[in-house]
A and B are shown apart, each in its own frame.
Chain A
Amino acid sequence: MKDPRRLLDGDGTDEQRALLRAGALEEPSHDGRARVLAALGVAAPSLAASSAQAQSTAAGGAAAGSGALSVTKLAVLALGSAALLGTGALLWPRGETATGRDARTQVSAPESAPQRGGEPPADPAHHVAPTGSVALEIEALERVRSELAHKDGQAALAALRRYASAHPRGVLAHEADVLRVEALVIDGDAPAALELAQQLLRRHGDSPHRARLEALARQAGAPAAQ
């Protein structure tokens, strides 16, 4: 069965084409997609480019944006969390990208997922929980950041231990590791900071936090691993 020509391609009247063209030209913003990736715990490359904006968000101590939905707040928190690392790129899970299987956002899903050809869930808009483990992880790392902002390396390390204990397979584990390097630097344990930074750079050469790690490694007193 051959498809008819689309109205936009010439089968419609001028008026119809003009109307459809107006609809076809509307595009989502890049930020929207990045926010979804952030909420899912997947690093969005584009976010690295917007690090300055994200950083100002963190510096202000408040999440930017005013989305009405709790999931949006979660994403915004994620953006702020990334910004506190000083890179803007974020939520880079250890080992693999989190496509949702690892990013336990605890979005209350519909009762049953459809099998092939089945019905989609009923009214998911009413099933999104206000909090999730990613949000809790972000909160935990916010506490770390707060200690770092007060230049209290010991307290930051303690907060990181609590984070690791509460989220042994956290999707923000890599971010926590970067914060640990920073905490060690502040705590004056340069050898440990350098060793961890180099270890992370070797393990995650394409980390969005690479520049940050290299800077911390330099701060710890030696050139970063190549």
Chain B
Amino acid sequence: MVERDYRLIWRLLRRLGVHEHAVDDAAQQVFLVAAERLTDIAPASERSFVFGTALRVAQSLRRKHSREDPSADTDLSASSLPGPDELSEQRRARERLDRIIEQLPLDLRTVFILFELEGLSSPQIAELVAVPLGTVASRLRRARERFAELVADERASRVPEKGPR
């Protein structure tokens, strides 16, 4: 299970907003919980269980992070400005992506990440998220629409900073 799903779970946790310094611990936590409950999980639904646990862990860590460091979001926001030299273009793009997709509702965000970033098919997502195929399709459609809006909004909000005063 770890061999098969670790990468997916780790990346999912990251895109669900778990900080890069906490994501290894979070992924470990997910699999330890799964290991403990392995005998209780219905056959063939191990992946679904691990996935669901990852969602809960991500939510929990985000809540904890917010409580411990209320300025975290502000800091993240600030990094959209031209960053220090050591911040690579790739890293800035990733932070921008994270800021955008975290504005998607969780149900849309999950489907969006699994489809667009992890390359899962709709049937795979339907099984993982335990929703009908049609729901996956509609969530993906709405997530894409919202994503496009958010990208445009985010770009627009950055333009004045670079314009002449």
The complex places the Cα of A40 from the Cα of B1 at a distance, in Å, of 11
Please encode chain A, from 50 to 91, with 1 for each CB lying within 8 Å of some chain B CB and 0 for all others. Answer: 000000000000000001110110010000000000000000
Distance between A44 CB and nearest chain B CB, rounded to angstroms: 9
Q: Which 8 A-B residue pairings sit nearest by Cβ, starting from the closest? A: A120-B52, A100-B35, A22-B93, A113-B40, A125-B60, A28-B10, A32-B24, A116-B42
B80 at the interface (CB under 8 A from A): no
Residues of B bordering A, CB below 8 Å: 1-3, 6-7, 10-11, 14-15, 22-25, 27-42, 44-45, 48-49, 51-53, 55-57, 59-61, 64, 90-91, 93-94, 96-98, 100-101, 115-117, 119, 121-122, 130, 133-134, 137, 140, 144, 147-148, 151, 155
User: Which of A101, A117, A124 is close to B56, meaning CB atoms less than 8 Å apart?
Assistant: A124
Given known A28-B27, A125-B64, contact A120–B32 (CB-CB < 8 A) = no
Q: Give the chain A neighbours of B93 by CB distance below 8 A.
A: 18-19, 21-22
B60–A126 CB distance below 8 A? yes
Cα–Cα distance between A42 and B3 once the two chains are bound (Å)? 11
Q: Is A20 located at the chain interface by the 8 A CB criterion?
A: yes
Q: Is the CB of A25 within 8 A of B41?
A: no
CB-defined contacts of B1 to chain A, threshold 8 Å:
99
Of B10, B27, B60, B97, which contacts A19 at CB under 8 A? B97
Given the interface pairs A8-B116, A39-B32, the reply to whether A32 lies near B15 with Cβ below 8 Å is: no
In the complex with contacts A7-B116, A121-B53, A125-B56, A26-B94 CB distance below 8 A: yes
The answer to whether A115 and B52 have CB atoms under 8 Å apart is no
Residue of A nearest to B41 (CB): A113
Query: What are 21 A-B residue pairs whose CB atoms fall within 8 Å in the complex?
Result: A1-B134, A7-B116, A13-B148, A13-B151, A16-B151, A27-B11, A28-B10, A32-B6, A39-B31, A72-B25, A103-B35, A107-B32, A107-B36, A114-B41, A114-B49, A117-B48, A120-B48, A120-B51, A124-B33, A124-B53, A125-B29
**In the complex, are the beta carbons of B94 and A23 less than 8 A apart?**
yes
In contact, B90 and A69 (Cβ under 8 angstroms)? no
CB–CB B49/A36 < 8 A: no
B97 to chain A, nearest CB (A): 4
Contact B119 A37 (CB under 8 A): no
Interface centre among B33, B42, B119 (most CB of A within 10 A): B33
